[in-house]
Amino acid sequence: MTRLIVNADDFGLTAGVNRAVMELHAAGVLTSTTLMALAGATRDAVEKAQTTPSLGVGCHVVLVDGESVLPPRKIPSLIDNKTGRLLPTLGAFLARLGTGRMRTEEIEAEAKAQIELLQSRGVRLTHVDTHKHTHMFPRVLGAVLRAAESCGIRAIRNPFEPAWAVEATQGAAWMRVAQVSLLRTLEPRCRRLIAEAEFATTDGTIAVVGTGTLNAATVRALVRHAPPGIWELVTHPGYNDSDLDRVRTRLRTSRDTEREALGALKEFPELELISFADLAR
């Protein structure tokens, strides 16, 4: 049996992203989303989450390219000294992480602060994942697992995309394909850490290489090629509006395309759509 969690990242980024998430959930093609603790439309997203218990909501832990919940002086190894914000790019984050200049206890503290902030606002969180999939790196993963466990959360995204899904994604940038394929070498160690922490997760995440190019044809191909198991389809739907113009993101026009692409799931009535809440149970 093939079961699919359809998750929208970046809930809370803009009102247009929130609108897309709610419309897709109401249409029956989106089961889950992950919420940013400090974003321009987080308050609106929290209100929508509170009135829609059927929508699974996780914490989209932001450790790069965003604002921290904790004061910068408490997590200096995560902060860009020029801006007082989290490091602006994944490259800068990995450079500091790889050279041992980033403290895992600060990652854990910031992740916990973001989770607790959402919980304090009445959001019942089903799972965690991270912005730009930073938890695929073992030192980050360990810290995020500890933070989530301390807050009563027992499910996490498996951020690795299987080879079959990469092959089924037509039109993906070759550099993106190479990166995802190389990073898959980290999966065995990360799976061990997740298992040792006794967290629930999926067999893998699909449409990672399709980020920015995901369309209806790719959604159909992914579903048709999916072997039995539990997979997460990661998406970034939204509306390309004036609010999005004010946000630093490489995903602009593609948010409209991804929003429309998920309608293709209606063509597969035999596909069982679940959320991370079902996975944790």
Which amino acid is it at 25? H
- 73 pLDDT above the threshold of 70: yes
pLDDT above 70 for 167: yes
Give the Cα separation of 251 and 155 in Å (integer).
27
pLDDT band, very low/low/confident/very high, at 257 (cuts 50, 70, 90): confident
pLDDT at residue 186, rounded to an integer:
97
Determine the pLDDT at residue 250. 55
The label of the residue with tokens 């992914």 reads 222
- 144-156 per-position pLDDT tens digit: 999 999 999 999 9
Nearest to 58 by CA among 107, 124, 3, 113: 124
Q: What is the pLDDT of residue 279?
A: 87
User: What is the rounded distance in angstroms from the CA atom of residue 177 to the CA atom of residue 44?
Assistant: 35
- Tell me which residue range forms the domain holding 204: 2-280
The pLDDT assigned to 242 comes to 60
Going by pLDDT thresholds of 50, 70 and 90, the confidence category of residue 211 is confident
Alpha carbons 37 and 165: distance in angstroms, whole number: 30
Residue with tokens 């998750």: 7
pLDDT at 107 > cutoff 50:
yes
With bands split at pLDDT 50, 70 and 90, how would you rate the model's confidence at 164?
A: very high
The whole-chain average pLDDT of the chain stands at 94
Quick one: angle between helices 15-26 and 42-50, nearest 10?
Answer: 20
Instruction: Supply the pLDDT for residue 253.
Output: 59
pLDDT at 252 over 70: no
pLDDT digits (tens, 9 = 90+) for 4-39: 999 999 999 999 999 999 999 999 999 999 999 999
Statement: residue 247 has pLDDT above 80: no
Look at the alpha carbons of 172, 6, 229, 129 in this order and tell me if their dihedral is positive or negative.
Answer: positive
Per-residue pLDDT, 244: 63
Average pLDDT over residues 244-259: 66
Confidence band, pLDDT 50/70/90 cuts, at residue 133: very high
Identify the pLDDT of residue 239. Answer: 84
Whether the Cβ atoms of residue 59 and residue 130 lie closer than 8 Å to each other: no
Comparing 47-61, 163-177, 223-237, the range with the smallest average pLDDT is 163-177
pLDDT number for residue 255? 74
The CATH number that applies at residue 130 is 3.20.20.370
Q: Please state, in angstroms and rounded to a whole number, the distance separating the CA atoms of residues 208 and 279.
A: 20
Domains: count for the chain = 1
* Residues near 185 by beta carbon (within 8 Å), at least 6 away in sequence: none
